[in-house]
Amino acid sequence: MTGVGASVHRIGSIVWHDVLMPDTTLPIVAEGLQRHFGSGDDIVKAVDGVDLRIEQGEIFGFLGPNGAGKSTTVRMLTTLLRPTGGVGRVAGFDVVSQANEVRRNIGVALQDAAIDPLMTGAELLKLQAVLYGLPKSQHAAKAGELLERVGLTAAGDRRVGTYSGGMRRRLDLALSLIHEPSVLFLDEPTTGLDPMSRISLWEEIRRLNNDGTTVMLTTQYLEEADQLAERIAIIDGGKIVRKGRPAELKAEVGSPTLFVSVDASASEHASALLASFGDLRPSAEGTLGVGLTEGPSAVSNVVRTLDEAGITVRNLELREPSLDDVFAEATGYRLEGADA
């Protein structure tokens, strides 16, 4: 039991631990966190030395493509998976040696809604209440409250197997909140949701955050990270490649990107010409991208240069640095599923 000012007292047959988290305790800390699978030549380094220090009350975005190690990192921090190296501390407790203390303080909604199709929404919430040690008198009330919060009151007595995908996600979120955790892990919470549901979920996340909940959010969607996260980290190949506030990271990239579409035959020549205006950047099929060192004013020069070389410009697009660019610069490719 760590934490300054921790006190223990009894109410009836239930032992309550009041854990006051001093400001100096970070809700999520990872130091050299590592997860290797297999050994020798077949070794897979899913997570290869991740350092994170997430602040009290922030929304932290964890970005990366599929297979980068996002989910593996989350599974380690939420006690589902044992790290093969490094240290993880959540709510001040070590994820390996103090796993149950960690579990008491976190809520988790994983990528696939973890539900039992044969039970009703209300029953699952009550089971959660039991397993989190809530006093029996509160079970029904809490279940009702959470159902209302996620808009599932009407469906509460139906078997979860009859729920749509969106409803299951919402129930999953409700299940993770039964004990009012101070730290919330959301693994790709809006993947596969329609735009309305996505926005609705973003609002709920902001609301939870306003109440004081620290949120660690993994996502493939740059827009989501941009909208919600105060700070982000980009993970690729098991390692963190960028960390910081979105605005700062974008500023680091600096120059805006000009996307030019030319005929395939002219592509090589155009590339060489564009290179004189700044660094070439990854772009979609059939287009070339260049970071304009001189800024937007260089656009007319680019067009003139290409024109004088006899290259027809089919399309032209100028974009201020976005997280997409941050990502592309950090990893060398564009994130799939990014909003263009």
Contact positions vs another protein (CB under 8 A): 14-23, 25, 56-57, 78-82, 100-101, 103-106, 108, 110, 112-119, 123, 127-128, 130-135, 159, 175, 179-182, 211-212
Q: Which is nearer to another protein, 16 or 333 (CB)?
A: 16
What sign for the dihedral angle of Cα 190, 195, 199, 201?
negative
| Cβ neighbours around 255 below 10 Å, total | 20
Q: Which is nearer to another protein, 143 or 175 (CB)?
A: 175
Q: Which is nearer to another protein, 73 or 255 (CB)?
A: 73
Q: Which is nearer to another protein, 14 or 43 (CB)?
A: 14
Q: Which is nearer to another protein, 138 or 276 (CB)?
A: 138
Give the CA angle between residues 67, 254, 221 to the nearest 5°. Answer: 30
Spell out the residues 6+ positions from residue 80 whose beta carbon is closer than 8 angstroms to its own. Answer: none
Least distance to another protein, CB of residue 114, Å: 4
Q: Phi and psi dihedrals of 129, rounded to 5?
A: -60, -40
Least distance to another protein, CB of residue 28, Å: 13
Least distance to another protein, CB of residue 86, Å: 15
Report the C-alpha dihedral over residues 11, 179, 205, 253, rounded to 10 degrees: 100
Q: Which is nearer to another protein, 5 or 310 (CB)?
A: 5
Taking alpha carbons only, the member of 191, 192, 209, 190 closest to residue 200 is 190
| Tokens (6 digits) for 36 | 């290797």
Least distance to another protein, CB of residue 85, Å: 14
Residue 196, by phi and psi: left (phi above 0), alpha (psi -120 to 50) or beta?
A: alpha
User: What residue type is 328 in one-letter code?
Assistant: A
Least distance to another protein, CB of residue 77, Å: 12
Helix (H) or strand (E) holding 307: helix 299-308
Least distance to another protein, CB of residue 30, Å: 17
